[in-house]
Chain A
Amino acid sequence: MSSNQTIFSGDSFQLGYRFQSYWDFHMATAFFFGELGAGLFLVSLYYGFVPGMVAGLLCTGVGKPYYHMSHMGVPMKSWRAILRPDRSWISRGLISIVIFVPCGALVVLDSWFGWSGGGMLGKLVQIVAVAASLLVMTYQGFAMSHSSAIAIWNSGLMPIASLVYSLTSGAAVTLALGLIFGGIDPLALSKVVMMFVGVTLLVQLGLLHAAYHGTAGSRQSLELLLRGQFAKQFLSLVFGAGVVVPLLVLWLGGASILGGLLAAVGVLAGFYAFRLLIFRAGVYEPLMSFAARLGLS
């Protein structure tokens, strides 16, 4: 038996891979709401679709903080997370959310009541809201890619995956809401959603490819996702529901309400599954192996 045999040591006192378990359901859901909300706001803003902007702000302003606070060990001290923007992506992200939500709300109010009268202040607020939303869409990916501990996260594609998933889910939900409430061109937007889903697929494949050519830890995580205990969920939800279903229903269903809703549900299911499974498949690499060095393997 080689000492190179993969061992998941868990909490035992054996040398081996250990699962990352600190960031799980609550953090995955917080990440999901943050990126969905920012993407939904941005896409809806582009199409002038106010219900989407409101839904996006609620996702980022209510859903995300709720699940972050559920995860925190000391939630009443959560405000301290803002203190280190010089070093921490979490601090930078929190600052961007604090800017994004009020500015986004002002943009919505402007579209309802015209408080800026079309002036420069209204445009400036809109620019700030867009810039902050872009940061909200990507900071989580940067926070993950910054971690050399979890090899599959340590990829330059992680922030890009965050951005792409954010835009894809935002576009899909804008389409679904637009088909229900009216006010958008569903045919044009459905083509945009299909394009975003295609880009998402490319980024996913790029991430998996990078993991394959990365360290032993990233290959171990990849094995878990594609052939191991997470394979069924990963393949069926991330690729099946998240890519194949939306592409099929939008191509066949065009701009129907049912097609739009099915596509949105598929995209969201795939996105959430990606978030959660990437967390759960993260592993710490074994500290070292001395077997070969001691001539004992």
Chain B
Amino acid sequence: MARMGMVFDLKRCIGCNACVVACKQENSLPEGVFFTRTLSEEYGVYPNVKRVYIPTLCNHCEDAPCEKVCPSGATFTREDGIVMVDGEQCIGCSACAVACPYDQRTQVTQESLTKGLYGTGELTPFEEDGYKRFSPGTMIKCDFCSERVDADLDPACVVTCPTDARIFGDLDDPNSKTSRLIRDRNGRPPLADKNTKPKVYYID
């Protein structure tokens, strides 16, 4: 069975945040909720100031601490390694949120699902349709666009990236682009000392 993962090429990321927008659109995320963010790190002294962009999302860890602490069993790992949350079983205790070293969990509130785009309480047709997937009070996170993956498509953020800074593929296939990049360009997982065995790697 495949073991799906992602590689971020930091030399290519330009911080446009198109991936963030694509993700919000694909997953119908309410205001303030992000499954992926492109963080920036700035340093240097004027006029020699530089900035690096660091995309982030759920790392779908092999040793996922969120899955271990979940008291209701709502968090589980699919056969292909994608870590999912079953909204029907989630009780919204936030134990997963304080267990995730990458702070990639969000609780979707009733307010965020009813406020609407204009804050008037009226939902747009897009919101009405999209918000059906969420149960208020439950914890949500990136699922690598699992429905797209099931249809042999790449996640929305990967498809949208204009510089191909996001690469998605099977980490168990030594010939996949992800595996080759990790091997050839010394891919490193984030916060490796936390021992969560993330399936997202960074190359530079």
Contact = CB atoms under 8 A, between A and B. Distances in A.
Instruction: Decide whether A and B are members of one complex.
Output: yes
Chain A interface size, under 10 / 10 to 19 / 20 to 34 / 35 or more: 35 or more
B50 interface: yes
B10 interface: yes
B176 interface: no
B41 interface: yes
A219 to B, nearest CB: 15
Interface residues of B, number: 55
B107 to A, nearest CB: 6
A91 interface: yes
Interface in B133-160: 135-139
A11 B17 CA distance: 15
A252 interface: no
Given A287-B54, A291-B52, A149 B98 contact: yes
A143 B96 CA distance: 11
B85 to A, nearest CB: 12
A88 B69 contact: yes
A297 B43 contact: yes
Interface in A24-42: 27
Given A13-B39, A290-B10, A89 B138 contact: no
B191 A288 contact: yes
Given A11-B32, A80-B71, A149-B103, A72 B91 contact: yes
A13 B38 contact: yes
Given A74-B91, A88-B69, A285-B191, A22 B107 contact: yes
Interface in A52-104: 71-75, 77-78, 80-84, 87-91, 94
B73 A147 contact: no
Interface in A127-156: 143, 146-150, 153
B65 to A, nearest CB: 7
Given A84-B72, A294-B204, A74 B40 contact: no
Contact of B41 (A3, A77, A84, A153): A3
Contact of A294 (B40, B42, B52): B52
B93 A148 contact: no
A296 interface: yes
Interface string B20-52: 000000000000100001111111110000101
Contact of A282 (B40, B56, B98, B137): B98
A146 B10 contact: no
Interface in B49-103: 50, 52, 54, 56, 65, 67-74, 89-95, 97-103
A148 B101 contact: yes
B98 A22 contact: yes
A9, A71, A75, A294 pick with most chain B CB within 10 angstroms: A294
A95 to B, nearest CB: 10
B116 interface: no
B91 A73 contact: yes
B130 interface: no
A148 B65 CA distance: 8
Nearest to B100: A149
Given A9-B39, A150-B98, A296 B52 contact: yes
Contacts of B93: 71-73, 81, 90
Given A90-B93, A289-B41, A73 B136 contact: yes
A258 interface: no
A131 to B, nearest CB: 21
Contact of A88 (B40, B95, B191, B194): B95
A134 to B, nearest CB: 20
A3 B42 contact: yes
A150 to B, nearest CB: 6
Contacts of A73: 90-94, 107, 109, 136-139
Contacts of B73: 80, 83-84
Interface of B: 10, 17, 32, 37-45, 50, 52, 54, 56, 65, 67-74, 89-95, 97-103, 105, 107, 109, 135-139, 190-191, 193-196, 202, 204
